[in-house]
Amino acid sequence: MSDSQRWLIRGVRPAGGEPADLLLDGGLIAETGPGLSAAGAQVLDGSGLIALPGLVDLHAHLREPGREDAETVQSGTEAAAIGGFTAVHAMANTDPVADTAGVVEQIWRLGRQAGLCDVQPVGAVTSGLNGSKLAELGAMADSAARVRIFSDDGRCVSDAALMRRALEYVKAFGGVIAQHAQEPRLTDGAQMNEGEFSGLLGLTGWPAVAEEAIIARDCLLAAHVGSAVHICHVSTAGSVELIRWAKSKGWRVTAEVTPHHLLLTDELAASYDPVFKVNPPLRTRADVAALRAGLADGTIDCVATDHAPHPAEDKETEWPVAAFGMTGLETALRVVHAAMVDSGQLDWAGVADRMSARPAAIGQLSGSGAPLHGRPLAAGEPASLVLYDAGARSVVDPALQVSRSRNTPFAGMELPGQVVATFLRGEPTVLDGKLAR
């Protein structure tokens, strides 16, 4: 990637703090401070904008290989850049499954070719996501893709003995098992949160206990074998309590929450519009409040999108036959703004921590030793950052999104904010809210 272009960004507020200028040179932040000047540099007036370190997503479905009708690495990373991300983890439930060094390297290379953000493949825990036999975790860790997070996401590693072995095995190379916590027998045919609305709507319930039972078990297993577990898309108040308890023991447990679980609730299912069908399902107002509090106090480490694109024909159906999942990369920061910043529960430094520093640390995103993502906006650090207009407001229009799919649950909602520019190692991927290349 060319690093010849220098950029001088004037008057931005790093992490929402006092205005400063940033000089980007050679892929790094060369200088910060007021009143910088740099001959020959491109100048971007950032006055009024907030600068955050480039966002890092621990959980996205880029659908390639296998479902290029829904998304590709190219279109998915375009969506990521538009949303302010400079790194995304690509989940393993592709076709073929990302369960060998060959497949994860293919996805990693596709990400490099697209060049819009770093694509870090997640490896499957079990071969073919079948839940019965470990995939070659070591080979994926040693591959060019340097896999550190392993997950059968979309399915739970429900066999306790297999989960124990996976947690133990990845200790050899500092791996993390990211669990999709869903007890399968308790969620047979489940369609939405089990509660008042599932009863009225006649849709099979997905009880909170099916998530919480697995989280409790896996925290205990991780403690027992001295390994690290990461809990994907935490969705219930009970889960937050369990994770808080596990962390209080000093166990190596981390967790993520999705933007949609921070803002939306299960009553939306009353529309029977499957754009609101997602796994784990939208929960109650009490769960939303607990998730926000958990993210604010650090019990939940980070926000991850669970970006799950689907073609229209998989959503324009009856609810029970529709696919689970929502897109999220393009709206994540705006939703966190609405749910956490506007409610006074996080400041912009907190947002930078939960959407960049913490996920980058969990994902162990480093190049040749030096961390590439999640670093503060300071001289000598990588010039990967997002410029955000917190004063903007607009209605989400799926037709304007760059993801290949249109299944955003925020369609028609007015959300605050607008990503103005995204830089990956000093190169703009987004300028004026549009793809820069």
Q: How far apart are CA 185 and CA 36, in angstroms?
A: 61
Q: Do residues 401 and 409 lie in contact, with contact meaning Cβ atoms separated by under 8 Å?
A: no
Residue 40: name the closest of 70, 7, 68, 64 by CA: 7
Q: Do residues 261 and 235 lie in contact, with contact meaning Cβ atoms separated by under 8 Å?
A: yes
State the minimum distance, in angstroms, from the CB of residue 316 to other proteins. Answer: 5
In sequence order, what are the beta bridge partners of 206?
A: 193
In sequence order, what are the beta bridge partners of 50?
A: 13, 388
Instruction: Give 207's contacts (C-beta < 8 A, 6+ positions apart).
Output: 186, 187, 194
What are 180's two structure tokens? 């999709």
Q: How far apart are CA 227 and CA 353, in angstroms?
A: 23
Q: Do residues 300 and 234 lie in contact, with contact meaning Cβ atoms separated by under 8 Å?
A: yes
Smaller CB separation from other proteins, 35 or 202: 202
Q: How far apart are CA 77 and CA 62, in angstroms?
A: 8
State the minimum distance, in angstroms, from the CB of residue 193 to other proteins. Answer: 10
The answer to whether residue 57 is catalytic is no
Smaller CB separation from other proteins, 313 or 397: 313
Smaller CB separation from other proteins, 18 or 318: 318
Smaller CB separation from other proteins, 229 or 278: 278
Q: Do residues 141 and 173 lie in contact, with contact meaning Cβ atoms separated by under 8 Å?
A: yes
State the minimum distance, in angstroms, from the CB of residue 192 to other proteins. Answer: 10
φ and ψ of 342, to 5 deg: -65, -25
DSSP single-letter state for residue 124 = P
Smaller CB separation from other proteins, 197 or 423: 197
State the minimum distance, in angstroms, from the CB of residue 365 to other proteins. Answer: 41
State the minimum distance, in angstroms, from the CB of residue 185 to other proteins. Answer: 10
State the minimum distance, in angstroms, from the CB of residue 278 to other proteins. Answer: 16
Active-site annotation holder among 306, 314, 389, 397:
306
Name the residues that contact other proteins, by CB under 8 A.
191, 194-196, 198-205, 207, 271-273, 313, 316-321
What are 386's two structure tokens? 């997002």
Smaller CB separation from other proteins, 175 or 274: 274
Q: Is the peptide bond before 280 cis (omega within 30 degrees of 0)?
A: yes
Residue 217: name the closest of 259, 257, 187, 177 by CA: 177
Catalytic residue numbers read 306
